[in-house]
């Protein structure tokens, strides 16, 4: 029994020690304080160029001034609670609820501080009120710079998605003004004041409600199919308004201009209108207002100055939803035969088009889909394709060398994003470039007369891409129906790119398996980059055409060996951005 007692003592000891140890191990968390505050229904659209805010007498931006570019702290602004990025007011600001008082209102004072430059009259005081509905307070520059409208305008805003989920909603606000006191001594510039119309890139009207909107008026929202568009705002005399963010402009054409030899200002006749992606379910406002743009000094074009001009800006009225559903599909009939063919995708069909024509875009829900080419209610051919949301496809119908009808699918990149990675780095997150003002061209061969086709610039010179990711093989020795897929785009124009771009020829060559470019295909009419301009009239009002129009294009060699002019070999241009 003695030993049993010992064991008992040991057991007790065991139970005693067996209390688990409490361990306090601090979680290491070095994050910033990211206490997100809830937004009210009020938004301030700061078109008046202010950079600081005082709410109810409280400065909530940093009011930090840097002494120009030479300041070692240039560009470095400390954040504040409500402006966690740089402590300064940007274009859009959703007023947080906790800044509103019990009556759901607040006294706002926006102002502008800077070491030098404009600043007079940019201070505005106004009251905001959250009445339960979404509302924007648009601030404009002020009467010192332009006259005609109040400095602060309250505009109700819709945050309702469009009825048709494939569509987006868009409206136009015309806050155009005439130059004010400060502009009297400035250079004379193009007059872009008056009613405006929102149009597609070729100047055709979108909807009556968006056309001829008078100064000071807000149009209704209009539903348009979602997509990538270069929307334009035209005055009554068909002049294109520039858009916020334009490079240095020419006085009388309001187009992007280049300065040659430090003396001459050369207009390009291309007005800066960004290519933008309007997402399904998105709500957008195009607002026209008088804003500072960059112009060359008339006597010293090396330097530039600001001058106010009416331009537009596209504002999202609610955070655009992520498109996880739709892709857009376009059909091209490159089959050199008679008859209008349509493309059937799922239960829907495009319109029927004849040889050398393409259809409008049709949205389709992503997934594994079958594309069928339908001629007179019978399917010529079909192809299965895994359609991804957010993508953009062109489906080409052509005849193979054996005379079989075939469908191939090309994927269009309308985002303006190109790959910039040349080195073998581990992380390519930032190895890309993005622009919203570009001319991208890619090439296809759907003509069996050309077992190998090469596309070139003037006199057989390969297309140069000025250092962009571009694979020359994408223009060389293309076999019929082949979809070049490695860096296939030639970028002809981009904002901030090469200023020396001239009008270029686009030529087709008979290449062979082993030679390129081979011999020039004189039976194929030469195109130039100006052929990309769909409506030259739109540019004609300013007196000249640009070297090329903006947008994403596919150029395909189509046709066949025939005397019939309808089916003769030729190039066709398909523009993907409307």
Binders of other proteins in range 451-490 (CB under 8 A): 467, 469, 483-488
Least Å from the CB of residue 333 to other proteins = 22
Which residue, chain included where needed, has tokens 């868009």? 170
> Could you tell me the smallest distance in angstroms from the CB atom of residue 403 to other proteins?
26
Those residues whose C-beta lies under 8 Å from the C-beta of residue 151, and which sit 6 or more positions away, are 48, 124, 139, 140, 141, 142, 143
How far are the Cα atoms of 61, 186, 244, 303, 306 from residue 114, in angstroms, in the given order? 13, 22, 21, 20, 15
Q: What are the angstrom distances between the C-alpha of 102 and each of 96, 97, 133, 152, 316?
A: 13, 10, 17, 23, 29
Contacts with other proteins in 74-93 (CB under 8 A)? 75-79, 85-87
Nearer to other proteins, 64 or 265 (CB): 64
Among 138, 193, 312, 385, binds other proteins (CB under 8 A): 385
Nearer to other proteins, 416 or 546 (CB): 416
Span 322-341, contacts to other proteins by CB under 8 A: 322-325, 328
List, in sequence order, every residue forming a beta bridge with 385; answer none if it has no partner: 369
| Whole-angstrom distance, CA of residue 347 vs CA of residue 104 | 50
Q: Which is nearer to other proteins, 31 or 500 (CB)?
A: 31
Q: Least separation, in Å, of the C-beta of 295 and other proteins? A: 19
Report if residue 434 touches other proteins, rule: CB under 8 A: yes
Q: How far is the CB of 574 from other proteins (least distance, A)?
A: 14
- Nearest approach in angstroms of CB 323 to other proteins is 3
Under the criterion CB under 8 A, does residue 68 sit at the interface with other proteins?
no
Q: Smallest distance from the beta carbon of 462 to other proteins, in angstroms?
A: 19
Q: Tell me how far, at minimum, the Cβ of 353 lies from other proteins, in Å.
A: 22
Among 67, 432, 473, 566, binds other proteins (CB under 8 A): 432
417 lies in the site for other proteins, by CB under 8 A: yes
d(CA 503, CA 387): 36
Minimum distance from residue 420 beta carbon to other proteins (Å): 8
**Stretch 255-284 residues interacting with other proteins (CB under 8 A):** 277, 279
- Distance, in Å, from the CA atom of 143 to the CA atom of 540, rounded to the nearest integer, reads 34
Nearest distance from C-beta of residue 13 to other proteins, angstroms: 8
Q: Does residue 426 belong to the site contacting other proteins (CB under 8 A)?
A: yes
Q: Which of 147, 389, 526, 545 binds other proteins (CB under 8 A)?
A: 389
For the bound state, the minimum distance from the C-beta of residue 408 to other proteins, rounded and expressed in Å, comes to: 11
**Considering the rule CB under 8 A, would residue 494 count as an interface residue with other proteins?**
yes
State which of residues 411, 505, 535, 568 lies at the interface with other proteins (CB under 8 A). 411
For residue 431, give the nearest of 464, 468, 486 by alpha carbon.
468
What token pair was written down for 159?
Answer: 């945050």
Q: Is 71 in the site for other proteins (CB under 8 A)?
A: no
DSSP 62: -
**Residue of 391, 476, 531, 549 interacting with other proteins (CB under 8 A):** 391
Which is closer to other proteins, CB of 375 or CB of 408? 408
The Cα–Cα gap between 575 and 572 comes to: 10
* Cβ proximity to other proteins, 139 vs 271, nearer residue: 271
Single residue of 37, 263, 425, 561 touching other proteins by CB under 8 A = 425
Of 315, 264, 395, 414, which is closest to residue 44 (Cα–Cα)? 315
Binding residues for other proteins restricted to 435-454, rule: CB under 8 A: 435
Task: Give the C-alpha separation, 21 to 482, whole Å.
Answer: 69
Q: What span, in angstroms and rounded, lies between the C-alpha atoms of 303 and 287?
A: 29
The torsion of the CA quartet 518, 520, 523, 526, rounded to 10 degrees, works out to: 130
Chain centroid offset of residue 310 CA = 20
Task: Report the SS3 class of residue 549.
Answer: coil
- Smallest gap from Cβ 396 to other proteins, in A, equals 14
Burial 296-314 (b: 16+ CB within 10 A, else e): beeeebeebeebbbbbbbb
Task: Give the count of residues interacting with other proteins (CB under 8 A).
Answer: 92
d(CA 207, CA 436): 24
Q: Do strands 167-175 and 283-296 pair parallel, antiparallel, or not at all (unpaired)?
A: parallel
Q: Give the β-pairing of 304-316 and 378-387.
A: unpaired
- Site for other proteins, residues 197 to 236, rule: CB under 8 A: 227-228
Is residue 418 within the footprint of other proteins (CB under 8 A)? yes
Q: Which two tokens stand for residue 273?
A: 């209108």
Question: Tokens standing for 310?
Answer: 């009416």
1-40: contacts with other proteins (CB under 8 A)? 1-8, 10-12, 14-15, 17-21, 23, 25-26, 28-32
| Rg (the chain; Cα; Å) | 30
Cβ nearer to other proteins, comparing 321 with 536: 321
Among 173, 256, 414, 511, binds other proteins (CB under 8 A): 414
- For 98, the 3-state DSSP assignment is helix
Least distance from other proteins to the Cβ atom of residue 318, Å: 14
Site for other proteins in 40-59 (CB under 8 A): none
């Amino acid at each position: 029994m003695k030993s049993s007692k010992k064991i008992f003592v040991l057991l007790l000891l065991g139970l005693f020690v067996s209390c688990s140890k409490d361990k306090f191990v601090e979680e290491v968390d070095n994050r910033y304080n990211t206490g997100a505050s809830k937004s009210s229904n009020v938004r301030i659209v700061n078109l008046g160029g202010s950079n600081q805010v005082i709410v109810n007498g409280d400065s909530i931006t940093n009011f930090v001034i840097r002494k120009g570019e030479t300041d070692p702290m240039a560009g470095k602004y400390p954040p504040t609670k409500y402006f966690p990025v740089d402590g300064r007011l940007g274009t859009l600001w959703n007023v947080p609820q906790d800044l509103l008082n019990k009556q759901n209102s607040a006294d706002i004072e926006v102002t502008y501080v800077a070491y030098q430059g404009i600043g007079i009259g940019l201070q505005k005081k106004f009251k905001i009120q959250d009445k339960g509905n979404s509302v924007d307070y648009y601030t404009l520059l002020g009467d010192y710079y332009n006259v005609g409208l109040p400095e602060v305008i309250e505009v109700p805003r819709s945050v309702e998605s469009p009825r048709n989920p494939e569509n987006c909603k868009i409206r136009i606000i015309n806050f155009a003004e005439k130059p004010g006191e400060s502009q009297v001594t400035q250079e004379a510039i193009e007059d872009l004041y008056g009613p405006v119309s929102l149009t597609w890139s070729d100047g055709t009207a979108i909807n009556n409600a968006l056309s001829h909107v008078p100064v000071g008026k807000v149009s209704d929202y209009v539903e348009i199919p979602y997509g990538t568009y270069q929307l334009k705002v035209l005055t009554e005399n068909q002049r294109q308004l520039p858009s916020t963010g334009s490079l240095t402009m020419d006085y009388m054409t309001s187009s992007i201009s280049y300065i040659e030899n430090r003396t001459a200002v050369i207009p390009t006749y291309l007005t800066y209108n960004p290519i933008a992606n309007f997402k399904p379910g998105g709500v957008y406002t195009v607002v026209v207002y008088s804003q500072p743009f960059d112009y060359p000094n008339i006597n010293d074009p090396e330097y530039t100055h600001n001058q106010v001009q009416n331009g537009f800006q596209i504002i999202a009225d609610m955070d655009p939803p992520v498109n996880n559903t739709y892709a857009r599909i376009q059909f091209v009939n490159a089959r050199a035969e008679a008859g209008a063919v349509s493309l059937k995708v799922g239960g829907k069909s495009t319109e029927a088009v004849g040889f050398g024509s393409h259809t409008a875009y049709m949205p389709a829900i992503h997934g594994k889909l079958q594309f069928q080419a339908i001629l007179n209610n019978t399917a010529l051919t079909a192809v299965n394709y895994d359609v991804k949301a957010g993508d953009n496809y062109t489906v080409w119908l052509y005849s193979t060398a054996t005379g079989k009808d075939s469908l191939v699918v090309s994927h269009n990149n309308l985002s303006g994003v190109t790959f910039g990675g040349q080195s073998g780095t581990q992380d390519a997150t930032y190895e890309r470039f993005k622009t919203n003002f570009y001319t991208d061209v890619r090439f296809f061969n759907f003509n069996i007369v050309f077992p190998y086709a090469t596309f070139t610039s003037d006199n057989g010179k390969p297309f140069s891409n000025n250092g962009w990711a571009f694979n020359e093989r994408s223009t060389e020795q293309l076999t019929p129906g082949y979809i070049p897929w490695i860096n296939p785009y030639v970028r002809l124009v981009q904002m901030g790119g090469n200023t020396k771009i001239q009008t270029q020829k686009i030529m087709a060559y008979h290449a062979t398996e082993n030679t390129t470019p081979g011999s020039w295909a004189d039976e194929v009419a030469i195109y130039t980059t100006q052929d990309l301009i769909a409506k030259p009239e739109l540019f004609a009002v300013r007196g000249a055409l640009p070297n090329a129009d903006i947008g994403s294009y596919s150029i395909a060699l189509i046709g066949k060996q025939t005397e019939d002019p309808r089916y003769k070999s030729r190039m066709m241009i398909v523009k993907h951005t409307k």
